[in-house]
Structure 1
């Protein structure tokens, strides 16, 4: 499951579907509530992915990762990479199972056009991402990369850069419009399905013998296939093209809150959402479901 626990971000990606700009709540829950909720989620799901916003902006992130590990779940950190170093990864590898780097291009100019940059336009050099990936692997942390395909980068070929990063898994996502989140730019950024498919095919051909698992997620496979919690501690989904929120989990309980959003378990499994468990990388914990990743999901 994905816990978008922090609202603020130091980047301004124009396609971002998780700005939560339509909500008036705090940037992050108070510490006692945040840690209580993350422990509950870690007792329920075999892997907790911390996302944002930008999770490395939270001062107690290592403690939050440790709390998840203490409850027996896997940890995954999704980050733009701007606030961590190889030394940070080495220091905190004992509480980090997966590091997912959000990278849309090998060209800093493309990142700047997409808003994957600071307000002053500062972007990260490609070598920084490579250094992070190398450090993670050396420390026993599994490396993943997420790339969002837009009209800006759809004609690029970054397979050579992906080979240098050498992630275990590269996820290619089609930029998706979500009303209330990315209305200003997404109309011009969403690529036609044919362009998305061409991008995927071009890279799959080049990476066919690399050992890198390429995961492809067009819009229709994204919506409804993720278990997500927002910075206010509510389940949410974007099945209808806009965010729909449950009541706060800590107020009504996990099962009641989860029943208030849409989730398609079949679609989740079809896109490989339980791959880490199937590959033997998730803890062997007793679960009432065929996939322990789906523990807590009502049949």
Structure 2
């Protein structure tokens, strides 16, 4: 009888031990899986492409960053893919803190955009950021993209010395076409502003650049004569791009479908202007994942899926963690010529 009881107790203990060991195995397995997920989260989120070099992605450096610090704009361009969904602008000191983080992470070039960057605080906020980046952070290149409508000569007098490149968006040299596109406000003449700003850039030693979005309204236009006359350091020519939630889809503030052109139409425009040496073509394929874009909250925007999916703010998690969720393809950035002579000190321009 005692032997039976003893055997039963031993058997129970062995069974309990097996249960404990089994539970331990399960716990270790779950814990290991969580660790793998945590370690691989950045890699898996960056790119669904299994053939992509994950080590290269993880070590991506924010060499060139586009900071859209405001979404507000005084123009209503029908194809705009960064629309006024919010009116938020970071406090100046917070914006400077973010720029400092980017510099520490390897940023060499900052491009301020919008919206219309000269609209907020009549350009003073922008001017202070430009001065900070060149004077305090000593970045090799500081640039701006603007529609040109709000720029005054006094701004050049105060801040022009800190600016390397000023890009003005101009989609047509026909004022009626600009009005059809929505690149207009009241009685302001977009082309008059363009030529005036070109002269100011020459006067205050700022490299002048032109950006054009090619769409159904200007695809057949020949801009050769005007571009040669203005002589920009670069003429960036974009293919009209649809971004869900921005200029396409139910939640969008614009309906850009009627502006979209085919790849063939875009190529025909490029062929027509092939004699212009400063032309830099940007097809939809090149644009989607070769830009590092920061929104008004300093979140990187991932555009690979045809929309803008935000990361967490670099102010909260730092640049290294946030850039993992940017969808940025550093190889495509280099392939499209994203790194060029972008400091006016190195351009050797004839002022």
Task: Supply the distance in 2 between the matched residues of 1:271 and 1:280 (Cα, whole angstroms).
Answer: 23
Name the residue aligned to 1:116. 183
Unaligned runs of 5+ in 1: 283-299
SS in 2 for 1:2: strand
SS in 1 for 2:274: helix
SS in 2 for 1:129: helix
Name the residue aligned to 2:315. 250
Task: Supply the distance in 2 between the matched residues of 1:134 and 1:239 (Cα, whole angstroms).
Answer: 38
Deviates more, 1:95-104 or 1:41-50: 41-50
Task: Supply the distance in 1 between the matched residues of 2:138 and 2:214 (Cα, whole angstroms).
Answer: 34
Question: How many angstroms does 1:279 deviate by?
Answer: 9.6
Residue correspondence of structure 1 range 56-205 to structure 2 within 5 A: 56-59=118-121, 60-69=125-134, 70-73=136-139, 74-118=141-185, 120=186, 122-183=187-248, 184-205=254-275
Greater share of residues in helix? 2
Task: Report if the CA contact (8 A) 2:209-2:234 is conserved.
Answer: yes
Q: Which among 105, 108, 112 is matched to residue 46 of structure 1?
A: 108
Question: How many angstroms does 1:20 deviate by?
Answer: 5.5
SS in 2 for 1:41: helix
Matched, 1:35 2:102: no
TM-score (norm 2): 0.73
Task: Report if the CA contact (8 A) 2:165-2:344 is conserved.
Answer: no
Distance verdict in 2 for CA 1:238–1:182, change over 3 Å: same
Question: How many angstroms does 1:137 deviate by?
Answer: 2.1
Task: Report if the CA contact (8 A) 2:167-2:211 is conserved.
Answer: yes
Name the residue aligned to 2:77. 13
Name the residue aligned to 2:286. 221
Task: Supply the distance in 2 between the matched residues of 1:281 and 1:48 (Cα, whole angstroms).
Answer: 17
Task: Report if the CA contact (8 A) 2:244-2:307 is conserved.
Answer: yes
Task: Report if the CA contact (8 A) 1:145-1:171 is conserved.
Answer: yes
Task: Report if the CA contact (8 A) 2:207-2:344 is conserved.
Answer: no
CA deviation digits over 1:247-281, x for unaligned, max 9?
A: 11101111001111211111101111001259984
Report how many residues are paired. 272
Q: Which has the larger radius of gyration?
A: 2
Task: Report if the CA contact (8 A) 2:73-2:115 is conserved.
Answer: yes
Distance verdict in 2 for CA 1:58–1:41, change over 3 Å: farther
Question: How many angstroms does 1:40 deviate by?
Answer: 2.5
SS in 2 for 1:112: helix
Unaligned runs of 5+ in 2: 1-64, 249-253
Displaced runs of 4+ in structure 1, greater than 3 A?
A: 277-282
Task: Report if the CA contact (8 A) 1:41-1:48 is conserved.
Answer: no
Task: Supply the distance in 1 between the matched residues of 2:313 and 2:118 (Cα, whole angstroms).
Answer: 24
Question: How many angstroms does 1:123 deviate by?
Answer: 4.2
Question: How many angstroms does 1:158 deviate by?
Answer: 1.4
